[in-house]
């Protein structure tokens, strides 16, 4: 019943997006020494949210993540992974995930207060 409230859909979507971004960052870091590897990133959450269907927003099915080239400059071996940028992207993903959990928790507190628990 409460899973249809948009605040919970939004918090869940942001958490899933953050997890996907963290996975892409981990792949980039794992391939930091691979010649010719192009660093990738996930499209921002606002764009992803706009492209989602109502079914996806409820957590059913996959989120339509769009993976992009990160656009970092290439090293002499053609690799575009910058560990500094990847650290920053990982921190951004962690903060977004923490924000999603705080939003979810606050919405649950409001719901509990409204029903008297």
**Average pLDDT over every residue of 30-38:** 93
| Rounded Cα distance, 94 and 108, in Å | 21
**Average pLDDT over every residue of 81-98:** 95
Q: Which residue has the tokens 């290439």?
A: 74
Q: Above pLDDT 90, what percent of the chain? A: 53
**Average pLDDT over every residue of 87-110:** 95
Q: pLDDT grade, residue 27 (50/70/90)?
A: very high
pLDDT at 47: 83
| Rounded Cα distance, 70 and 72, in Å | 6
**Structure tokens belonging to residue 97:** 């995930």
Residue 94 has φ and ψ, to the nearest 5°, of -65, -45
Residue 50, phi-psi category: left (phi > 0), alpha (psi -120 to 50), beta (remainder) = alpha
pTM for the model: 0.82
**Arithmetic mean of pLDDT over the chain:** 86
Statement: residue 78 has pLDDT above 80? yes
pLDDT at 92: 95
pLDDT at 73: 87
């Amino acid at each position: 019943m409460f899973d249809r409230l948009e605040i919970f859909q939004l918090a869940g979507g942001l958490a899933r997006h953050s997890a996907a971004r963290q996975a892409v960052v981990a792949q980039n870091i794992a391939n930091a020494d691979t010649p010719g590897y192009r660093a990738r990133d996930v499209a921002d959450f606002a764009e992803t949210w706009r492209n989602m269907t109502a079914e996806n927003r409820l957590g059913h099915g996959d989120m339509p993540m769009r993976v992009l080239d990160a656009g970092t400059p290439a090293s002499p071996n053609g690799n575009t992974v910058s560990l500094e940028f990847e650290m920053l992207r990982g921190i951004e993903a962690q903060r977004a995930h923490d924000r999603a959990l705080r939003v979810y928790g606050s919405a649950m507190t409001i719901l509990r207060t409204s029903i008297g628990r």
